[in-house]
Chains A and B, each alone.
Chain A
Amino acid sequence: MTKIATRDAYGKALVRLGEINKDVVVLDADLAGSTKTAKFRDKYPERFFNMGIAEQNLIGTAAGLALSGKIPFASTFAIFATGRAFEQIRNSVAYPNLNVKIAATHAGLTVGEDGASHQALEDIAVMRAVPNMTVIVPADGVETEQAVFAAAGHQGPVYLRLGRPGVPVIYGEDYRFEIGKANLLRPGKQVGLVAAGIMVSIALEAAEALQAEGIDAAVLNMSTIKPLDEEAVIQLAKTTGALVTAEEHNILGGLGSAVAEVVAEHCPVPVLRVGVEDVFGQSGTPGELLAEYGLTKEKIVEKAKEAIARKSL
């Protein structure tokens, strides 16, 4: 299966976007080679601003550009965007509801060898707690490209969460991403797997494995975590009666929490969460880390069975 890193798809999409929309400007904080904004820099140097290793200023400057009619994409690693510059995002972007797109790469464990200091596992939680913010976690390269265009077309702040390693391409070119709409990748009656980001393809593998054991699992790609597609969650909870969420993020505050909130309020069914269980990561290859912290097909299968077993309780 073809693999494309979502950051690569982002870099590619930015160049196309920049060609058709001259208001698009890009800012980076000394990581243009890694975030892939370098492609845009090389094509449109006059619309690219390297802010140096100064993430707070990166966000503040983007706010000023947005106030002057530009559509700024500000990029750095997820941990620095949402960690170092959290308050600038909150007060200088989200509170005034400015048209700033924060496209953060190297989110989650799959940063790999750089270790815990660089592995953002809290970013979804903090970004989704901020009013006016839209939070998008694309599952593959195709969805990423579309999400970049959708973010540019959306008036207001967007947090776009991207990853470092290649991930399997799930979607064909005919796929249409829409902010706030979940995508049912696979229907199923016994359990619903709700995943985001790199965990979507792993959830699809888990559904295959479950099918081999005679268990019919649905897979829902929840690429917009805010605003959450509540209808899709409620529908899936009602048709399957048990959900498992899967995310490359702390199980506190992210996709699992968002889904559980909706389910608890509208249609209580068992919801089990697969994710990093409130610990920091460490150095290792992306594959080793996913295995070490239980972000695997096997773990999703195990939780799916447990969720189904709980239905009758």
Chain B
Amino acid sequence: MNAELRQQLEAKAREIRKSIVRMTGAAGSGHPGGSLSAADIVTVLYFHELRLKPEEPDWDGRDRFVLSKGHAAPVLYAALAEKGYFPKEELLTLRKLGSRLQGHPDLKSLPGVEMSTGSLGQGLAVANGMALAGKLDNKDYRVYALLGDGECQEGMVWEAAMAAAHYRLDNLAAFVDHNGLQIDGPVTEVMSPEPLTDKWKAFGWHVLSIDGHDLKQILSAIEEAKKTKGRPTVIIAKTVKGKGVSFMEDQVGWHGVAPKPEQVTQALAELE
């Protein structure tokens, strides 16, 4: 990863974080913590990796990204707006009546959204279906899913994990945004999904563990996933919930609470 690319991606990640803060602030509700923790992963995917045509959202050959942790909608919306799928001003309509930016992603209303998500545990199975179709049609698109670590408490995640390995979906890679926190507290206290790495390994996946805020590591992990044949890859990305905003970082209270106007100002100043 050269210095120029790093600077570009860092700048995009900053813009996405600022958008997350602005839109949740304007909405007065939403999920900033888990959006910020995933910002670097989403940045690398949308601004380096995914083969997309924003002017033709349904283009057949596009790579697919399924935000299984649908409550992190702000990070997806920020990336899509930054990518040109819709005007950035529209981000401020998040969660408002009539908005295309629903509280959780709605594929019918917003271009670029690959799947309506929000009920945890369902996205990976859908990604599997997309990957199976890709194999069936001999298409070379790749499918990515982003899950939360708390989400891994859902039984259906493991049904899908079993199936992806069974069908050798090497055109699929999943990220686990391992920020360690869920609504009621640390994931290890609420219902520990650990050892996460061993679980995914036992389910037949190629497992990579990275720092989910290190752009180079994210990029390398994606490259390794692409080279891995015969099985899907999961990238367990250690992240910090609320990353980039000092008062939100690693604070369980910032899962589903929007910043107040003065907090928005402070957060944006920090992100400059």
Interface residues of B (CB under 8 A from A): 60, 106-108, 114-116, 118-119, 121-122, 124-134, 136-137, 155-156, 159-160, 162-163, 166-167
Interface residues of A in 53-81 (CB under 8 A from B): 54, 56-57, 59-70, 72
Q: A54's contact among B115, B130, B137, B159, by CB below 8 Å, is which?
A: B159
Q: A97–B134 Cα gap in the complex (Å)?
A: 21
B131: chain A residues within 8 A (beta carbon): 64
Give the total number of A-B pairs whose CB atoms are below 8 A apart. 103
- In the assembled complex, the CB of A57 is this many whole angstroms from the nearest CB of chain B, namely 4
Say yes or no: A56 contacts B116, CB within 8 Å.
Answer: no
Q: List 24 A-B contacts (CB under 8 A).
A: A25-B136, A54-B159, A56-B155, A56-B156, A57-B125, A57-B128, A57-B162, A57-B163, A60-B125, A60-B129, A60-B156, A61-B128, A61-B160, A62-B129, A64-B129, A64-B131, A67-B129, A68-B129, A69-B133, A88-B156, A91-B119, A92-B119, A96-B106, A96-B107
Chain A residues contacting B106 (CB-CB under 8 Å) are 95-96
Query: For the complex, would chain B's binding face be called helix, strand, loop or mixed by DSSP majority?
Result: helix
Q: Which residues from chain B contact A299 at a C-beta distance below 8 Å?
A: none
Q: When chains A and B are docked, how far (Å) is the Cα of A88 from the Cα of B155?
A: 13
Residue from A49, A60, A69 within 8 A of B126 (CB atoms): A60
CA distance A91 to B107 in the complex (A): 12
B8: min CB distance to chain A, Å:
31
Number of interface residues of A (CB under 8 A): 29
CB of A189 within 8 A of chain B? no
A287 at interface by CB-CB < 8 Å: no
Do A54 and B134 contact each other (CB < 8 Å), given the known contacts A64-B129, A87-B119, A96-B107?
no
The reply on A52 being an interface residue by CB < 8 A is yes
What residues on B are CB-neighbors of A87 within 8 Å? 119
Q: With A88-B122, A96-B116 as known contacts, state yes or no: A64 contacts B159, CB within 8 Å.
A: no
Per the bound structure, the CA–CA distance linking A170 and B5 in Å amounts to 69
> Which residues of B are found within 8 Å of A72, using beta-carbon distances?
129
A92 CA to B126 CA in the complex, in Å? 8
Rounded to whole angstroms, the CA-CA distance of A73 and B16 in the bound complex is: 39
